Amino acid sequence: MTVGIVGASGFTGAELLRLLVGHPNLDLCVATGDSMAGTRIADLYPSLALAYGERTFDRYDADALDGLDVVFCGLPHGVSMDVVPDLIGTVGRIVDLGSDFRLTDPALYPRWYGTAHSHPELLASAVYGLPELFRDEIAAARLIAATGCNAATATLTLAPLLAAELIEPGGIVVNLITGVSGAGRPPKPHTTFCTVDENITAYGLLTHRHTPEIEQALTVATGQPVSILFTPHLVPANRGILATCYGRPAGDASTDDVLGAMADYYRGEPFVVVDERSPETKSVAGSNAVHLTARVDERTGLVFGIGVLDNLMKGASGMAVQCANIATGLPEATGLTTVGVYP
């Protein structure tokens, strides 16, 4: 099948370029990157030199994508909403890695993203791209809004606890640690080496845009009105997310009960590991796997779950390829690995 990447010069685009090299069914035809148009892919990402040789980033042209089977959009927030309308009906399927089509209520965009959605009529046709929760919807979708990296980690950790009614749906606390690549390739004052090195900082206090995304996904998946307090923390690491999610118990439960509920919920899932071990970001680096655990603290009465994933893989580009595989009828794990890079 023929594939295009719009926004291939960013970190998620580069990860897609890497994944497509090893994908037996997806053939890259177009790779745009307007800020780097005419630049050799190998000059920006030497790790891709043997795969792409003299190939350069293209300038975006909707006509060049016409007729492709799958188009991935790895664009900054607020850009995809004006690109996707040009592609609908001209390409087979669109997988948007940005946030522009994740929320179903257009009124949430001004509040959480600071601007109104330019094409709110398309939100109802977009399917939220989290395969473990919405696989059937993805299979029939033409426009897939791939899950955000923070949202994927928190949602996958909390969904089984809520579905089994082991925790209350209100007042959930999510403390999350993330690596710097989640902020994208362009330099920003808070992601320079001197700012990040030897530093840990909480950000997006009470305002992080993944908050309504997590609430929406969990509410739809479990049928309960979920509310969370979400606080991410930036650490000096390239990749990886670890989310610790705390909830009030909805009844009597033990650690064995919560671990069993997680294992049952994800039984047969190709990319999910549920284990008693405390998960580590190093274990999932470079893979499409997510590792989970859970505990009941009898002393405080609280229930908590921990989840880890690679923010550029299961949190972005790996998730996008997984969604594309499902939507095009390919085996879900095609071109993806469950094995992390270690050390």
Distance (Å, rounded) from C-alpha 104 to C-alpha 90? 23
* Given 29, 73, 149, 245, the catalytic residue: 149
Distance (Å, rounded) from C-alpha 207 to C-alpha 229? 10
Which structure tokens are listed for 144? 């897939």
Cα–Cα–Cα angle for 335, 102, 243, rounded to 5 degrees: 70
Scored b (16 or more CB within 10 A) or e, 260-282 reads: bbbbebbeeeebbbbeeeebebe
Residue with tokens 């940005």, as numbered in its chain = 98
Which structure tokens are listed for 309? 């994933």
State the sign of the Cα–Cα–Cα–Cα dihedral 117, 121, 122, 128. Answer: positive
233: β partners? 177, 202
Which structure tokens are listed for 301? 């009465």
* Gap between the terminal Cα atoms of the chain: 35
Which structure tokens are listed for 189? 């004052």
Question: Do β-strands 272-274 and 290-296 pair in parallel, antiparallel, or remain unpaired?
Answer: parallel
Q: In what order do the strands lie in the sheet with 2-6?
A: 27-32, 2-6, 70-73, 93-96, 143-146, 126-129
Query: Is 323 a catalytic site residue?
Result: no
CA atoms within 13 A on the CB side of 337: 13
Residue with tokens 């499902």, as numbered in its chain = 326
Q: Any idea which residues carry the catalytic annotation?
A: 149
